[in-house]
Amino acid sequence: MGFALAPTALTEGYRLEAFESVGSTNVVALDRAREGDRGRLWIAARRQETGRGRRGRVWETPSGNLAATLLLVDCCPLPAAATLGFVAGLALSDALSAVAPSTRIAVGPDGGQGRDGAGRYELKWPNDVLADGAKLAGILLESIVLTEDRFAVAVGIGVNVVAHPQGLPYPATSLAGLGAACTAETLFLALSDAWLRHERIWNRGRGLSAIRTAWLARAAGLGSEVAVNLGGGVVRGVFETIDEECRFLVRDKTGRLWPVAAGDVHFGAVASAAAT
């Protein structure tokens, strides 16, 4: 089976370019935008050789894992584009639940298993999907200005389907490691369908409140002890919520509420070890 779009995505005018191997799906997508592509274009590959995560970190995608990027052009007012990562997280969570529904979730208030025990995946602010408390997938948004009043955004999604990176400072996992019999192609098919539901709710940013509510219902570590590495310092406290702009809110031991727009979040024992 090769990569294919869900019938619902085809009906809505989405298109697909599929590769066995590619340098970076985000780079290909943004190149297509520079060449004049109108957007609503998925780039999918089973292997990504030069992929990256947030802050330029390497994100390994060996053959059999999923690397996918959705190119969108002039999809919303520019400030709203930053919230597409939350749309992607919800869509990926739904797709994973459809193709591998029995995998457990984790990271509750004590850093252990999640709030309701089983049956869904959790979303770690701002752009990770967790299973059993370990990173299963990551999301990376990148954008370029095309003209004075036009821009493109690449919504990059990487999922550990058959293997996960080793030697990381945080736990990671794969669908195969969790016992799920799923291929990158099957997951992508489900993802291309699930994206539509959440994009309609998001509605060019006008439905962000509903997206925020849905995201919080799947949030990893809500109410738990957390440390956020801001680059120039660490904020410690309790993960209270995300605000209307989807910033991460931490209440420290003095009662002060810290809104975090960008930073590395660590829960439980990892908070003590990795955020110092």
Helix, strand and coil in the chain, % to nearest 5: 30, 35, 40
Cα pseudo-dihedral 42, 45, 131, 7, rounded to 10: 40
pLDDT digits (tens, 9 = 90+) for 201-256: 999 999 999 999 999 999 999 999 999 998 778 999 999 999 999 999 999 999 99
Domains of the chain: 7-216 (3.30.930.10), 225-274 (2.30.30.100)
Structure confidence by residue, pLDDT tens digits, 166-202: 888 889 999 999 999 999 999 999 999 999 999 999 9
CA–CA separation, 205 and 93 (whole Å) = 20
184-202 and 84-99 are packed helices; what angle lies between their axes, rounded to 10 degrees? Answer: 140
Give ∠ CA 211-170-133 in degrees, rounded to 5.
Answer: 50
For 52, the token pair is 């990256």
Residue bearing tokens 């997508």? 29
Q: What residues form DSSP beta bridges with 122?
A: 130
Residues β-bridged to residue 267 = 226
Phi, psi of 258 (to 5 degrees): -105, 115
Distance in angstroms (rounded) separating the CA atoms of residues 182 and 114: 23
